[in-house]
Amino acid sequence: MSLWSWLIASYLALALLTLLPTLTALFGKVKLNPGGASFDESSFSSGAKEKLTRHYSRMQGTLAFWKREAVRNSHFHYYCLWWTIVSSSLMPFLTQAVDPADTASKWFLTTVAAHIALVLGFHRGLKVAENFKAFRHGESEFYDTYRRLLDRPNTFGKTEEEQISNYFEEVEVIRRFVRTAETDSLPMLDDVRDKIAKSKADG
């Protein structure tokens, strides 16, 4: 094997090796992080605690899905980013280094170019960056809202019933935000809130 043949094999092996974290995340399972103090330890009444606990239990499947998708997309996003930078930087030098007498040198250049094209194609076609931001933002926004209800329930309203109702509504806004981002373009969370408020006003 010539030097160029070894370079092809090494490049493909490195590309596959660095893809392993993405493949592991694709087929692996995720565990939700401990949420700290729960509603059972809050100052809410027993009836309110039961409502909040049941609501959180129904959210756990959604939160696990968001976290899994955020992890998958983040791994592939950084894989694409890293390889795009490296491969694009190599291309001008490889173009000059190609040996017309050695077919393997041409194939190495073709391999690098094809890899860049595939990486960029999947990254754009699957909306990897947008999905990563949406799922990660949705997950973070939910836990911020969750902690705010525990730490500062008065920000949701004056009465306990109003606080719980507004909390449920905030969570629904976050869910709609992630759903919209997953199926369409990435919206701003405030845009989703404005749309919901407008639909309520019109209704």
Please determine, for residue 78, whether its predicted confidence score (pLDDT) is greater than 60. yes
Residue 195, pLDDT score: 59
Task: Please report which confidence band the pLDDT of residue 202 belongs to, taking 50, 70 and 90 as the band edges.
Answer: low
Across residues 97-123, what is the average pLDDT?
89
Percent of the chain with pLDDT over 90: 49
Is the pLDDT at 203 greater than 60, yes or no?
no
- Chain centroid to Cα 65, Å, comes to 10
Residue 116 has a pLDDT of 92
% of the chain residues with pLDDT over 70: 87
| 30, pLDDT greater than 70 | yes
Q: What is the distance between the alpha carbons of residues 24 and 71, in angstroms, rounded to a whole number?
A: 10
Question: Which of 159, 187, 154 has its CA nearest to residue 173?
Answer: 187
Higher local confidence (pLDDT), 45 or 191: 45
Predicted local distance difference test score (pLDDT) of residue 192? 55
Residue 19 has pLDDT above 90, yes or no: yes
Instruction: State the average pLDDT for the chain.
Output: 86
- Mean of pLDDT values over 162-185: 87
Contact by Cβ (8 Å): 123, 73: no
Tell me whether residue 151 is exposed, middle or buried, using C-beta atoms within 10 angstroms of its C-beta: 0 to 12, 13 to 18, 19 or more.
Answer: exposed
How far apart, in whole angstroms, are the C-alpha atoms of residue 160 and residue 157? 8
- In this predicted structure, the answer to whether residue 100 has a pLDDT above a threshold of 90 is no
The answer to which of 27-41, 102-116, 178-192 has the lowest mean pLDDT is 178-192
Average pLDDT (54-81) is: 92
Range in 50-54, 82-86, 178-182 with the lowest mean pLDDT: 178-182
Question: Predicted confidence band at 101 (pLDDT cuts at 50, 70, 90)?
Answer: confident
Q: Tokens representing 44? A: 């809410």
Dist. CA 154–CA 145, nearest whole Å:
13
Q: Please give the structure tokens belonging to residue 33.
A: 């992080």
Residue 118 predicted with pLDDT over 90: yes
Q: Are 174 and 138 in contact (CB under 8 A)?
A: yes
Say yes or no to pLDDT of 154 above 90.
Answer: yes
Q: What angle do CA 88, 90, 94 make, to 5 degrees?
A: 125
> pTM of the full predicted structure?
0.76
